[in-house]
Structure 1
Amino acid sequence: MKLKDLETSPKKNLYLIGLSVLVGLTAGLLASLYRLVLEKAETFGRFAYAQVLHAPMLALILIPSLLLIAVVITFMMKKYPMSSGSGIPQVKGQLQGAFKANWFTTAFAKFVAGSLAMLGGLSLGREGTSVQLGASMGQMVGGKLAQTERHRRILMASGASAGLSAAFNAPLSGVMFTLEEVFKYFSPLLLLTCMTSAIVSDAVSQLFFGRGSVFHFVIKGEIALQDYWLLIILGIILGAFGALYNTTLLAGQKWMNKISSVYWRVVLSFAATAIMAMVFPLVIGSGHSLINQLTFGWGLGFLLLVLLGKFFISMISYVSGIPGGIFFPLLVLGAVIGAIFATLAINGLNLPESWYANFVILAMAGTFTAIVRAPMTGILLLVEMTGSFSYLLPLALVSLVAYVVADLFNSEPIYDSLLANMLADKSNHIEEMLEGQLVIETIVQFDSKAENKRIAQLVMPHDCLIVAIHRVGKDIIPNGQTELLAGDYLTLMIGQNNEDETRRQVQSLFSEKELTEE
């Protein structure tokens, strides 16, 4: 069968799933290599800072080296602006059609600059970069082998799932993150392709790092049901912290942008990190070693110092725009908050010391939910990263409370806010206005503007047409008198020339009113 005929063939979905296997292989390989390089870079960076502490004259080598690294990173950021920052907002923007990037230059710049940032000890995570590297592999495969723009976007999403899967050995979390945070809707085809890529990518990752979980917490007991009121308090604290984190990060970006020179922004981040490495080296880097060292023996004052130091260095590392994510550092912050809460609760209420690890894990999920606003991803991520399914109920409770509290503070999901800032300043990002049409899918949600309305009654975007309706296992050919019901699965054709605005109008029309009016 010719490739050009596959899009009209009943086997087109099988072909797309086959391509998602290739995406999983390439994304898993690249993300695993990146993860391996980051581990080596962080280890060497810590060693270099330690040598300077013992022999201060070595600073004459360290300082020029950091300045040179800053030059390389600045060049990458200016030459390939889509490589800056986390990577997750960039992928979301690409999938929404807001801007377009070259997959090779973006992946190359992200890999090199992110590795150099970790070599310098910056508090950045691997997950955002891994998501973007995976999406780039999906873009590569889709650009070569997919026959429609819709399928190219699906393969990019599959690559994003594969990237997160390889970063944390967490295939289910990779799939859920794409559905819950990146796409924000569910479709059977999207689920199948993302799951295929994530599973294949996880298999590749296991060849590099084995089957072990990312964290090695020892869970010796479960929190008693009568003590769940403590989890509600913990959720409230995490929700408030999440709102504070988001506000501080966005304000820090505005402050840093007042420095016109990208190079001096990068130098400022490296200078702050180098100073912190001299006075408090525990908080630099990704934070993986910090989590593994957390123990009930740490005093409350020391834990508070760790929280403040990690919070500061994470902020100063990210707001400069250096390639790297906030995903893992925010989990570390959550772990420290959990340790503080556990210390207070265990000592103050004479609770079992074995609950310490439980509070740490629960706080990580709650912090992720409060900041990212993706509770299912947070729950699955902590389950997969710790290798235990024994505390799903407390994870869900803490995440729910943290979500509600953060929402009461009117704190927007951080990746949505970061994407909005990027869209407000498109001049700093690679854009390409596309011509032609694109097929997208959406669901008529309960209490949306379109529910129980005839198509002729809807105020549709001028370049948008409903071409098919899937309802209760049957396909309906729409016309002006067709009434839309909640749960209808719509296929729409839109123009690519103003795709991001059209998508926003479509979301406003078919999403629940409370969601679109926020």
Structure 2
Amino acid sequence: MLLSFALNAFRQLLKPKRLAILEAVLIGLVAAAAAVLLKQGVYWLGSWRVKESLLLPAWVLLPTVGLVGGMLAGLLIERFAPEAAGSGVPQVKAALAYVPITLNWRVAIVKLLSTTLTLSSGVVLGRQGPTVHIGAALAAQLSRWVPSSPDHQRQLIAAGAAAGLAAGFDAPIAGVLFVIEELLHDVSSLTLGTAILASFTGGVVSRVVAGPNLNLGSPGTLNQSSFSPQDIPFLLLLGLLTGLFAAAFNHSIVASLKFNRRHLKLGLPQKIGLAGLISGGTIALLPPVFRDTTTLQGFLTKGTADWRITAGAFVVQFVLSIVACSAQAPGGLFIPSLVLGAALGQLVGLVAAYLMGGEPIVYALTGMGAFFGAVAKVPITAIVIVFEITLNYGLILPLMISAVTAYLIAERLAPGSLYTRLLELKGIHLEPDAINDGLWTKLTAAEVMQTHVETLDSRMTIDEAVAAFSQSHHRGFPVVDDGKLVGIVTQTDLDKLTQRQLPGTALLREIMTPQPLTVGPGDTLSRVLYLLSHYKLSRLPVVERRKLIGIITRSDILRVESDKLQGGSERLGPQPEPSYVVYQTRSPATGQGRLLLPLSNPQTADGLLKLALAIARDHHYELECLQIIPVPRHNSPAETPVNTTASRRLLKRAVQQGKDWQVPVHTQIRATHNIAEAILETVRERHIDLLLMGWKGSTSTPGRIFGDTVDTAIRQANCDVMLVKPGENLLHGYREVQGKSQPAVQALLQLTQLERWLVPIGGGPNAHYAMKLLPGLVSLSRKPVIRLCHVYHPKDTNYRPDLLEQEAEFLRQQDHHKAEVMVLSVCANSVVDAVVDMAQKDQCDVIVLGASREGLLQQAIQGNIPEAIARNCDCTVILVRHAE
């Protein structure tokens, strides 16, 4: 009886809404514990640093502690969790937009330890951004332990972020508002309820266990501060100044990160250590009040600070915060924003008090909310944070006046979220509606399911079922009688045959699972994923009135998620059909091989065609020009009408140029669901030897190196591949020739000749293949100058300079254009930095990347080397991959 009662109670507890409440409370408790640990760790180590700086020479101790603490934090991040660098709020925002960013207990622990080290060593950042990251990471880990749908996992991550902010500021309402206003943009009942409960739990527990998180002067002073109508002009002035400086702050952070990445060639430990050294050295020269951010914050909000100290605090906090951010030190911008706002508000308050009396503390507290709201673009959250901290209703109107004014000014001068811009620097571009996309609640089973389903009959024998499994790659089959679903049989059921000792002549109905779990065509993917995870299934039949109409597998879900990350909603749905040739021309097949050139962008078509013709002529290849027309997934490529006028015009131009170069040119136009698959189909059908593709030099798709289409082709094409990113000089030339006469075209193209070639090599098949292509490529030059270089690491003991000379000699023998060939060995820690420096110094027109001895192409796909080179160079970049 007692056991039955306990089981029923446990089942009731595990119902979705009750489970969500339990999860929210648990997330709040864990986030509060992490916030308390972070606060106490920073307080203990920071107090020791400040105390020792009063006993020992501060100009020695503070820079040393900053350097050591920063380097230790950097080593911790670099070795165990690179995702823990920086504020952490951008990472959470990306994760909530379904970008695959790691959030787990390892990231949380590393973030906690590294932030404790950096903040206690004097780096001018705050704890609250990391607590958001830690709370979200712990919530993400919990969501993996308790199977749930991606939509529910997203809600738990948002609840963890809210709890983290609430625990860091003692502001539960602000935690929820920050999630809604900046991170999630979602106010559905479950999301809001989960976030509220987690935020309340985190804020209350943190306050009870560790006391107030912010030092803002005496409670009596905060509660007695008042507002009068004559303050409005000064509050508007404060909003104006705050908006201007907040925009400058945001621009400075982005600019410093770009400068640091391009010019400061150091590892993360060295960068954070240098930021700690600069911070410690600067603070050592200032009064003791500057040695602890919490003390400085309380000093500025007491209303007694001298204007010199206040102005100095503003300048020092502004500069040192940017220094810390540029190094990607673990720490948040919330506290620096509050301190900067308090200093700016104190200065305006002193002016107002001098002219008409009043209390500067009102302006200091108002400035805190205004600056924070303008930097993070969360004015409502900023107003509520200051109100929750001070519990002073008299500050609401001043906060609204200044915060809204500051937000409008900052949005005008520095539009968009700072966190979104920080993500863009990492190559993650969020679509405007990416955060509130609701992918898993918008898509239904009918839109994702496979409609062509292999089924079995319950009256067939077990031997016949085993034969069906052996002839198929499926691990499970629905069992259907007269069109009705009666069961399902899996590989696991067959594995149990020996235990049941059934003969092969037994019927399938004896081993199948009757009345299997199913979904309807209108069920959302969120429910489908929940059922798959909760019941540990790999497939779910889709039925309508017991009639089987489709099936959904885990692979289908992964494909949908991949398609969403790669190209948007138009790619979601059933698998694409093969492409369909709607137009083609053939030339005499007189070549010794074939080169495929897909043409898409008219601005780059002439340049790519020029390179393709040069290679085809030198290698006696035929040229296959391909135009691809995408069609919607719900339409068949073979049955969809397409307009080929523009495509045929472009292909006819290619045929004419082929005649001028005496190269056979074949053309075709394909209609397809998937551009990459159409290219691969052409490679197989036309027996292509070399695939030449244009490449824009960067990609906005997370998880991709060169882009969706190019990544697929370079990995799967069973032929040689050459990627070309046209440089600015070529693009400018091709834009200029549009609409001009033939003599004018020739004159303009003479100005964009490819004369200076840089070829980093290091042995291997790709490097040698690049050498084989070079003679044809340099035929485009009048006086080609080729610089062969080998970049090797200082610790590389196997470096062989003779490889470089061998390639140079091979090129001199093969080249019939008398190009000037030079060789250069470069010792450097980074291939990218060395190549970019050489290209800029020599003003190269083209960089040809083969493969180093360590496999440059493999490094490219794993480490994004070509994108880094292309992004930092304006010249043409060519990447070569030889077929295995």
State the alpha-carbon separation in 1 of the partners of residues 289 and 258 from structure 2: 24
Higher relative contact order (CA 8 A, sep 6+): 1
1:200-245 deviation per Cα after TM superposition (whole angstroms, max 9, x unaligned):
1123212322369753351434221243122112111111111111
Q: Indicate whether 1:259 and 2:324 are aligned.
A: no
Q: Which residue of 2 aligns with 1:174?
A: 175
The letter of the residue matching 2:264 is I
Q: Indicate whether 1:234 and 2:242 are aligned.
A: no
Q: Which stretch shows the higher mean deviation, 186-195 or 290-299?
A: 290-299
Q: Could you tell me how far 1:87 is from its partner in structure 2?
A: 0.6
The letter of the residue matching 2:419 is Y
- Distance of aligned partners of 1:377 and 1:282 in 2 relative to their CA distance in 1, 3 Å threshold: farther
Tell me if structure 2 keeps the 8 A contact 1:334–1:365: yes
Q: Indicate whether 1:127 and 2:128 are aligned.
A: yes
Q: Which residue of 2 aligns with 1:306?
A: 313
State the alpha-carbon separation in 1 of the partners of residues 181 and 566 from structure 2: 21
Q: Could you tell me how far 1:162 is from its partner in structure 2?
A: 0.7
- Distance of aligned partners of 1:441 and 1:225 in 2 relative to their CA distance in 1, 3 Å threshold: farther
Q: Which residue of 1 aligns with 2:815?
A: none
Q: Could you tell me how far 1:425 is from its partner in structure 2?
A: 9.7
Q: Which residue of 1 aligns with 2:43?
A: 39
Q: Indicate whether 1:50 and 2:54 are aligned.
A: yes
Q: Provide the secondary structure at the position in 2 that maps to 1:439.
A: helix
Larger radius of gyration: 2
State the alpha-carbon separation in 1 of the partners of residues 238 and 348 from structure 2: 7
Correspondence 1:92-111 to 2 at 5 A: 92-111=93-112
Q: Which residue of 1 aligns with 2:69?
A: 69
Q: Which residue of 1 aligns with 2:337?
A: 330
Q: Which residue of 1 aligns with 2:119?
A: 118
The letter of the residue matching 1:73 is A
Q: Which residue of 1 aligns with 2:410?
A: 406
State the alpha-carbon separation in 2 of the partners of residues 248 and 503 from structure 1: 33
Match of 2:376 among 364, 372, 383: 372
Correspondence 1:446-485 to 2 at 5 A: none
State the alpha-carbon separation in 1 of the partners of residues 226 and 325 from structure 2: 36
1:423-449 deviation per Cα after TM superposition (whole angstroms, max 9, x unaligned):
3499xxxxxxxxxx962479xxxxxxx
Q: Could you tell me how far 1:25 is from its partner in structure 2?
A: 1.2
Tell me if structure 2 keeps the 8 A contact 1:273–1:284: no
Tell me if structure 1 keeps the 8 A contact 2:62–2:122: no
Q: Could you tell me how far 1:169 is from its partner in structure 2?
A: 0.8
State the alpha-carbon separation in 2 of the partners of residues 182 and 45 from structure 1: 35
Tell me if structure 1 keeps the 8 A contact 2:64–2:280: no
Q: Which residue of 1 aligns with 2:296?
A: 290
What are the ranges of 5 or more consecutive residues in structure 2 without an aligned counterpart? 1-6, 431-437, 449-520, 525-557, 572-884
State the alpha-carbon separation in 2 of the partners of residues 213 and 65 from structure 1: 24
> Percent same amino acid at aligned positions?
24
Q: Indicate whether 1:362 and 2:369 are aligned.
A: no
Tell me if structure 2 keeps the 8 A contact 1:283–1:310: no
- Distance of aligned partners of 1:77 and 1:499 in 2 relative to their CA distance in 1, 3 Å threshold: farther
Q: Provide the secondary structure at the position in 2 that maps to 1:99.
A: coil
Q: Indicate whether 1:316 and 2:330 are aligned.
A: no
Q: Indicate whether 1:222 and 2:222 are aligned.
A: no
Q: Could you tell me how far 1:198 is from its partner in structure 2?
A: 0.9
The letter of the residue matching 2:271 is R
Correspondence 1:266-285 to 2 at 5 A: 266-280=272-286, 282=288
What are the ranges of 5 or more consecutive residues in structure 1 without an aligned counterpart? 427-436, 443-459, 469-492, 507-518
- Distance of aligned partners of 1:29 and 1:221 in 2 relative to their CA distance in 1, 3 Å threshold: closer
State the alpha-carbon separation in 2 of the partners of residues 328 and 466 from structure 1: 47
Q: Provide the secondary structure at the position in 2 that maps to 1:416.
A: helix
Tell me if structure 2 keeps the 8 A contact 1:166–1:205: yes
Using the size of structure 1 for normalisation, the TM-score is 0.78
State the alpha-carbon separation in 2 of the partners of residues 70 and 394 from structure 1: 39
Q: Provide the secondary structure at the position in 1 that maps to 2:440.
A: strand
Q: Could you tell me how far 1:301 is from its partner in structure 2?
A: 3.0
Q: Which residue of 1 aligns with 2:560?
A: 495
State the alpha-carbon separation in 2 of the partners of residues 131 and 162 from structure 1: 7
State the alpha-carbon separation in 2 of the partners of residues 316 and 356 from structure 1: 29
Tell me if structure 1 keeps the 8 A contact 2:182–2:378: yes
CA RMSD of aligned residues (A): 3.4
State the alpha-carbon separation in 1 of the partners of residues 566 and 180 from structure 2: 21
Q: Which residue of 2 aligns with 1:339?
A: 346
Using the size of structure 2 for normalisation, the TM-score is 0.47
Tell me if structure 1 keeps the 8 A contact 2:215–2:295: no
Correspondence 1:118-157 to 2 at 5 A: 118-157=119-158
State the alpha-carbon separation in 1 of the partners of residues 338 and 393 from structure 2: 19
Q: Provide the secondary structure at the position in 2 that maps to 1:272.
A: helix
Q: Provide the secondary structure at the position in 2 that maps to 1:423.
A: coil
More strand by share: 2
Tell me if structure 2 keeps the 8 A contact 1:269–1:316: yes
Correspondence 1:237-252 to 2 at 5 A: 237-252=241-256
- Distance of aligned partners of 1:423 and 1:16 in 2 relative to their CA distance in 1, 3 Å threshold: farther
State the alpha-carbon separation in 2 of the partners of residues 401 and 271 from structure 1: 37
Tell me if structure 2 keeps the 8 A contact 1:96–1:500: no
Q: Could you tell me how far 1:188 is from its partner in structure 2?
A: 1.5
Q: Could you tell me how far 1:405 is from its partner in structure 2?
A: 1.1
- Distance of aligned partners of 1:267 and 1:95 in 2 relative to their CA distance in 1, 3 Å threshold: same
The letter of the residue matching 1:400 is V
1:112-165 deviation per Cα after TM superposition (whole angstroms, max 9, x unaligned):
111111221110100011001111121121111142121111111111111111
Tell me if structure 2 keeps the 8 A contact 1:213–1:384: no
Q: Could you tell me how far 1:311 is from its partner in structure 2?
A: 1.1
1:382-432 deviation per Cα after TM superposition (whole angstroms, max 9, x unaligned):
011122223212211111111111122143321222122233499xxxxxx
How many pairs does the alignment contain? Answer: 447
- Distance of aligned partners of 1:71 and 1:123 in 2 relative to their CA distance in 1, 3 Å threshold: closer
Q: Could you tell me how far 1:281 is from its partner in structure 2?
A: 5.0
Q: Which residue of 1 aligns with 2:777?
A: none
State the alpha-carbon separation in 2 of the partners of residues 150 and 334 from structure 1: 37
State the alpha-carbon separation in 1 of the partners of residues 564 and 419 from structure 2: 20
- Distance of aligned partners of 1:62 and 1:230 in 2 relative to their CA distance in 1, 3 Å threshold: closer
- Distance of aligned partners of 1:25 and 1:370 in 2 relative to their CA distance in 1, 3 Å threshold: same
- Distance of aligned partners of 1:65 and 1:222 in 2 relative to their CA distance in 1, 3 Å threshold: closer
Q: Which residue of 2 aligns with 1:192?
A: 193
The letter of the residue matching 2:236 is I
State the alpha-carbon separation in 1 of the partners of residues 285 and 123 from structure 2: 15
Tell me if structure 1 keeps the 8 A contact 2:91–2:101: no
State the alpha-carbon separation in 2 of the partners of residues 339 and 399 from structure 1: 15
Match of 1:29 among 20, 30, 33: 33
State the alpha-carbon separation in 2 of the partners of residues 440 and 266 from structure 1: 42
Q: Could you tell me how far 1:363 is from its partner in structure 2?
A: 0.7
State the alpha-carbon separation in 1 of the partners of residues 343 and 570 from structure 2: 41
Q: Provide the secondary structure at the position in 2 that maps to 1:390.
A: helix
Q: Which residue of 1 aligns with 2:211?
A: 210
1:168-208 deviation per Cα after TM superposition (whole angstroms, max 9, x unaligned):
11111111111111112322111100011011112321232
1:299-354 deviation per Cα after TM superposition (whole angstroms, max 9, x unaligned):
3233222211111111112210111111111110000000110111111x2222xx
- Distance of aligned partners of 1:211 and 1:244 in 2 relative to their CA distance in 1, 3 Å threshold: closer
Q: Which stretch shows the higher mean deviation, 391-400 or 320-329?
A: 391-400
